Structure 1
């Protein structure tokens, strides 16, 4: 009877044990399922975070690369750098080194990237300031170049004027010296005489003042001594102007135009060649004959070496 009772109890306990075991197994599986799900979610979040970090890093690297290219182009465009730009370039270089350190770190965190992003914004602002400074300096340099060009042009103009004036002064001195020398070597005359003459049948010459009775006019003068005039042939030009203003010309005369040192030209009636001897005086005489002399004043000018050296006149009634 007792054995039956124990057997009955054993049979009733077995289902309970089986049920508890089943519940425990089920609970473990549920726990394991929940734990795996949480692990998967954590993994997915980690993957998403890594993807986000990678994307942010790529964007930062892209923006940073553009800034670097812009900075290099700006530096290459500078013709004449100065101390101010060099200081700015030094500051930009320090910022680049710090940004490079973060972006080159394969394990850079989101916080690191946020710091790099802030630094890139600061670098962008610094490069913008650098660009503005370059533009300002270029404008100032353009003004300086323009001013220097004007100053150079003005200086060259002044120098050219000075050179021109110096050349003109030298030329004037040379001309003055030459003129003085020519003037000092020019012959002078004295005892300049003009005689209206009547030639009688016997050949005797007598002085007359009536035009109808005058056969010729004799011109005579003495050449004074001049120690500076060299010996040799000297050309003396004689201009005889009639009362009507015309230049008198006569047979056998060598008439023409003479250019003076003043630049003017005068007509002359005859040219006389004189063999001048330095330091010695001599008398020159020549006659002017005409078919018919008119009443009035006859003016006689004498030229030598481009200068007028004497003038005289005679009046015929």
Structure 2
């Protein structure tokens, strides 16, 4: 009888069967893991984008807050500069406002991130600007009034200067005219004739050239008509100076007031001036013998010397 041999199964076949069953499981696990990784990547990407967006929003908020703070700081500085300008140029009292400015600056620096404090600062800055704008408008109005007043004053000053110049010119013209009238009002004489005579006991005159025989010196003249001169009683004075320059006079030395001061005179004659031509003679009777030489004979009327003549005695 033939012997039947039973052979044992080969080891490789058992392992092959086991490996074949594990591969699908691994494939499934790897697929699931890939899906999980994909979901994780998507989730992380979404989280990253959300976080990045939030960071961007916060960065923008920080930038906006800084810009707002800088804007508020600039407004405060502009207000402060305007207050200093008004104080320097217009002598405006700004101490109270400067105190408010310092308070705003402290509050702004104490909260650099902005927030609710910035809204309060904005309101206060706005109110302060409105108040200052009102003050500026009032100041501008007062400055305009002051400018108009100054212009009016300058105009009045110029008018006053013009009037003073006009008055000075008028006064000068008046003074000049007054001098002209005064000069024109001075009585003038003409046809003056002075002579030396000897008068005898009967009163008869005779022209005489010898000094020792002369006992009278006389000047005759015509007073010109003059409507500007004052009318009424006048006095004419005869001043006779001998060769030595001394004024001849009688026993009593007489004086009158001339334009140059007190003046000794030899003889005088009164007359009533009526504005027309008048003839007049002024004699001087000598009490002492005369000496030879030249005798100067001058006629004064109204303090003014009107004429003179020179005679020669031998």
- TM-score when normalising by structure 1: 0.49
Instruction: Tell me which structure has the larger Cα radius of gyration.
Output: 2
- TM-score when normalising by structure 2: 0.49
